[in-house]
Amino acid sequence: PIYLDHHATTPVDPRVAATMWPYMCEQFGNPGSTHAYGEAAREAVAAARASIAAAIGAEPSEIVFTSGATESNNLAIRGVAERPRRRGDRLVSVWTEHPAVLDPLGHLGERGYDVVLVDVAACDAKSPGVIDLAQLEQAITDTTCLVSVMLVNNEIGVVQPLAEISALCKQHGALLHCDATQGVGKLPVDVDRLGVDLMSFTAHKLYGPKGVGALYVRRRNPVVRLLPQQTGGGQEQGRRSGTLNVPGIVGFAEAVRLAMEEMPEESPRVMRLRNALAEGIQQAVPEVAVMGPPLTAEWADGTPMRLPGNLNMMFPGTDGEALMLAMPEVACSSGAACSTGNDEPSHVLQALGLSPDEARSCLRFCIGRWTTDEQVRRTVQLVAAAVRKVRQLGGT
């Protein structure tokens, strides 16, 4: 099948896999060991940490390796909220966040924390999906210990204005966490320019292996302290215990390096293919609508308001799951497919004001490193045929 689901995960780049091999069978040491095997592993991790840190404008000591963005989000949110000495019990986030942010917040809410979720602009607004900054400003108080806002939404690709959000947080001394899982490797990301204190990202969304990620934790004004969520051997300066995933970390660093190096050519290529897919579908299928910000929308500084590879479309009179069954040759996702076995209509699309049935009639596509013009042309034909078939069956 044609793979257009790069928000869900990406294939490991063979160049990345090549860097990982030696750290599985030959240099297999535990970085905590004092002998030569340990030393080799320790050096590899140190080099990977320095390289990943440099790519996001951080210091090596500010990187905590984890098992992925879900763990990073949990460590950031629980780690700040559960510190005995914290500013207060208010936590502020957004309705359109990933479950890996909303769920830990929900659990804290059940335990008595004051969790506030902010709205985003509706689908008929100028910039659908963009956070309501006025509402956010109201929500942040002097008792707010953490604000968590994602950089790029995994369903509609909207890029949130983190620097502006950071300015609001600073006014009240609240820490800012950012789930940048869908942004790192696809957009230029610099922790100082974004003004974030904590930032989650993961290797498998940028052509690296699954099961390895990182949390950036600011150590320069302010120094962010976390209550560790996993204790034991005291690895990662006590912030996350457990033997490091050395091959994964080495691959993660190579994946980040390649993504940064290739971004100047890759971004416009992916955007061109995404636009071709959207235009092709709009010409071939009557009554379709793009969900999320317009494809050409930009922020005032000229940066895209929507991730170059992301497309989300509504096909009224259909059901996304039925469309996918009608075109097994295309691997994309119905708006809801962000968590396993969950067939609830997308909470992100509903936050834009769509009804559950409207949300069910959407499909998400994401162009990737090996997507070709031919695949896009073929996908347009397959989508058009699937929509015709499902609409006929549905009698609309």
Which of these is catalytic: 123, 338, 362, 366?
A: 338
Stretch that binds ligand PLP, among 66-74, 139-147, 284-292, 377-385 (CB under 6 A): 66-74
Question: How many residues line the site for ligand PLP (CB under 6 A)?
Answer: 12
When the beta carbons of 191 and 390 are compared against ligand PLP, the nearer one is 191
Distance CA 65, CA 239 (A): 9
Burial group, residue 340, by CB count within 10 angstroms (0-12, 13-18, 19+): exposed
Stretch that binds ligand PLP, among 27-35, 49-57, 179-187, 303-311 (CB under 6 A): 179-187
Residues 6 or more apart whose CB falls under 8 angstroms from that of 162 comprise 149, 151, 176, 178, 194, 195, 196
We find the least distance from the C-beta atom of residue 69 to ligand PLP, in angstroms, to be: 3
Minimal CB distance to ligand PLP: which residue?
68
Give the residue from 105, 58, 45, 68 showing the smallest Cα distance to 201. 68
Residues 6 or more apart whose CB falls under 8 angstroms from that of 322 comprise 390, 393, 394
We find the least distance from the C-beta atom of residue 63 to ligand PLP, in angstroms, to be: 15
362 is annotated as an active-site residue: no
Interaction of residue 346 with ligand PLP, rule CB under 6 A: no
Q: How far is CA 318 from CA 55, 258, 264, 323, 353, in A?
A: 43, 39, 37, 7, 18
We find the least distance from the C-beta atom of residue 54 to ligand PLP, in angstroms, to be: 21
Interaction of residue 5 with ligand PLP, rule CB under 6 A: no
Interaction of residue 182 with ligand PLP, rule CB under 6 A: yes
We find the least distance from the C-beta atom of residue 84 to ligand PLP, in angstroms, to be: 28
194-253 residues near ligand PLP, rule: CB under 6 A: 202, 213
* Among positions 5, 13, 179, 358, the unique one binding ligand PLP when judged by CB under 6 A: 179
* Among positions 93, 148, 181, 334, the unique one binding ligand PLP when judged by CB under 6 A: 181
Interaction of residue 69 with ligand PLP, rule CB under 6 A: yes
Interaction of residue 68 with ligand PLP, rule CB under 6 A: yes
Distance CA 322, CA 346 (A): 16
The answer to whether 56 touches 199, Cβ cutoff 8 Å, is yes
Interaction of residue 336 with ligand PLP, rule CB under 6 A: no
Give the residue from 91, 97, 65, 63 showing the smallest Cα distance to 78. 91
* Among positions 94, 100, 258, 277, the unique one binding ligand PLP when judged by CB under 6 A: 100
Distance CA 309, CA 336 (A): 18
352-371 residues near ligand PLP, rule: CB under 6 A: none
Interaction of residue 160 with ligand PLP, rule CB under 6 A: no
Contact residues toward ligand PLP (CB under 6 A) are 68-70, 98, 100, 150, 154, 179, 181-182, 202, 213
Catalytic amino acids? 338
